[in-house]
Amino acid sequence: MEDSIINLLEQLRVEKPLVHNITNLVVMNNTANALLALGASPVMVHSPLEVREVVDIAQALVINIGTLSEDTAEAMLVATEHANTIGRPWVLDPVGAGISAFRNDLLSNLLDLKPTVIRGNASEIMTLYNFNQPNTKGVDSTTASKDALRFGQLLQEQTGSIICISGEVDYILSQQYRVEVFNGNPLMTQVTGLGCSATALIGAFLGVTDHYFEAAVAGVSILSLAGELAAQTAAGPGTLQLNLYDELYQLNAERLKSKLKIKRYAH
């Protein structure tokens, strides 16, 4: 797995994929900067009037539903339908799944459109599998990622999507494999939008390979590793966020080889 991640990162820095983000307003700046720091090229366009044309020129699409309006919800449906039509991979971040009927309806429609990858925290993944679950606590997870593993696997079977569950251990699930990522740091939960940044990085890797499972593993593990390294010298969440960009920028084969803690299992 490590070699595949190293190769994908090299490829990303050469190809500089254009990643189209229809994303939430809280993290727009951060995810743009995470993509740029790693070596990708972000474009954030969310008007229903122009997303189709941007999907055409981008290599991958990121959908993050954190701060919805009717307009952006419509743009997400227009963009993902068009991505499917022209064979563009896309990743869904179901931020706040379960907190409102409007949000759940949109998520139902997006699930029907079969995302290439879905990445969320434990609560969000559990809610996606069963919209009759009790409400989540806003956008922070109330469930350990391990508890969500069973639901993640069921969601994988239901949708055919690759499922990523972020938490103390990160899980990436396909029909055949489960990868566990042990990198990260608890302080990361006190910075907004690091999960969203993982989703954006998955988008960047989807833009450089047809091996979507490897792309998802690369996005999740690189964000968790960069966060872990960023936390080591951080006095708090402010420094962590700052260091994260620098770590993404400095990340190389040697660091990945020596620091990544991931395991792959066949089901």
Torsion of CA 60, 61, 64, 68, to 10 degrees: 160
CB of 252 to a second copy, least distance (A): 12
CA proximity to 211, closest of 118, 117, 121, 119: 117
Binding residues for a second copy, total number by CB under 8 A: 66
The residue type at 168: E
Contact 169, 122 (CB under 8 A): no
Q: Compose the 186-225 pattern: x for residues touching a second copy by CB under 8 A, - for all others.
A: ---xxxxx--------------------------------
Burial 3-22 (b: 16+ CB within 10 A, else e): eebbebbebbeebbbbbbbb
Residue 232, burial from CB neighbour count under 10 angstroms (0-12, 13-18, 19+): exposed
User: From CA 105, how far away is CA 153, in angstroms rounded?
Assistant: 22
Closer CB to a second copy, 134 or 160, in the complex: 134
CB of 16 to a second copy, least distance (A): 8
CB of 17 to a second copy, least distance (A): 10
User: In the set 238, 252, 257, 263, which binds a second copy (CB under 8 A)?
Assistant: 238
- The conformation of residue 170, written as its DSSP 8-state character, comes to E
Q: Compose the 33-72 pattern: x for residues touching a second copy by CB under 8 A, - for all others.
A: x--xx-x-xxxxxxx-xx--xx--xx-------xxxxxx-
Q: Checking phi first, is residue 54 left (phi over 0); if not, alpha (psi -120 to 50) or beta?
A: alpha
Q: Compose the 97-136 pattern: x for residues touching a second copy by CB under 8 A, - for all others.
A: --xxxxx-------------------------------x-
CB of 98 to a second copy, least distance (A): 10
Contact 16, 40 (CB under 8 A): yes
Closer CB to a second copy, 15 or 180, in the complex: 15
Instruction: Give the residues lining the site for a second copy (CB under 8 A).
Output: 16, 18, 20, 24-30, 32-33, 36-37, 39, 41-47, 49-50, 53-54, 57-58, 66-71, 96, 99-103, 135, 137-140, 189-193, 234-239, 241-250
